[in-house]
Chain A
Amino acid sequence: DTAVSQTPKYLVTQMGNDKSIKCEQNLGHDTMYWYKQDSKKFLKIMFSYNNKELIINETVPNRFSPKSPDKAHLNLHINSLELGDSAVYFCASSLRAYNSPLHFGNGTRLTVT
């Protein structure tokens, strides 16, 4: 009965490879997010989708491309991985409504060697 689940939990890959992280929520939320937690532990927003529509696109390299096939799923594809992409990536979801908190997945630790 996991609310927000993301896979894989760990991802180790070499520079230059392309990888994807998948996220699914069963909370009936209409908005999903990708956050990045870097080595300094800052949680920074990357993208947000509301009902499959991209509504937040922070200053993120074009190598990162989110895709939302439906409002319960938000995937993150990363092309040409670089060492600096190593981080923990968190998926989250919420209702686009007042007083609706974010609910997070358990994160994907990406290590680029």
Chain B
Amino acid sequence: DQQVKQNSPSLSVQEGRISILNCDYTNSMFDYFLWYKKYPAEGPTFLISISSIKDKNEDGRFTVFLNKSAKHLSLHIVPSQPGDSAVYFCAARTTSGTYKYIFGTGTRLKVLA
């Protein structure tokens, strides 16, 4: 049972435009959400996170939006750059219990120059 889902396996965006990556989750106990970026042959790198008490968090070109009622989060990258081309994973965690981080299946973003 995949509790965190990224339904778009890939996305292509023109350089300078906005990239929007989406993520859905099913467990209402999740209260901390994260986005990671992964280049080939490297480990996932933490990008940005948001707690369930917020609906938006911004860090430079990256903004994460959380819609708790829809159990949906998204990552906006503006403006997109060729160096942003990578696989992006969303993840979610509950604060209680074992602090297990559950990952989505990833979306491959290609930013075209």
Contacts and interface: CB of A to CB of B under 8 A. Distances in A.
Given A33-B101, A43-B89, A45-B101, A107 B43 contact: yes
B34 A104 contact: no
A102 B34 contact: yes
B34 A101 contact: yes
Interface of A: 4, 31, 33, 35, 40-45, 48, 50, 55-56, 90, 92, 94, 96, 98-99, 101-107
A98 B44 CA distance: 20
A55 B49 contact: no
Interface size bracket, B side: 20 to 34
A41 B104 CA distance: 10
A101 B49 contact: yes
A76 to B, nearest CB: 15
B98 A105 contact: no
Contacts of B46: 101-103
B32 A56 contact: no
Contacts, number: 60
A98 B106 contact: no
Contacts of A98: 32, 51, 95
Nearest to B46: A101
B100 A4 contact: no
B41 interface: yes
A83 B5 CA distance: 28
Contact of B98 (A41, A56, A101): A56
Nearest to B48: A101
Given A35-B103, A101-B49, A106-B43, 19 more contacts: A43-B103, A45-B102, A48-B98, A50-B99, A55-B98, A56-B98, A90-B43, A90-B44, A99-B32, A99-B49, A99-B51, A101-B34, A102-B101, A104-B36, A104-B43, A105-B43, A106-B42, A107-B42, A107-B43
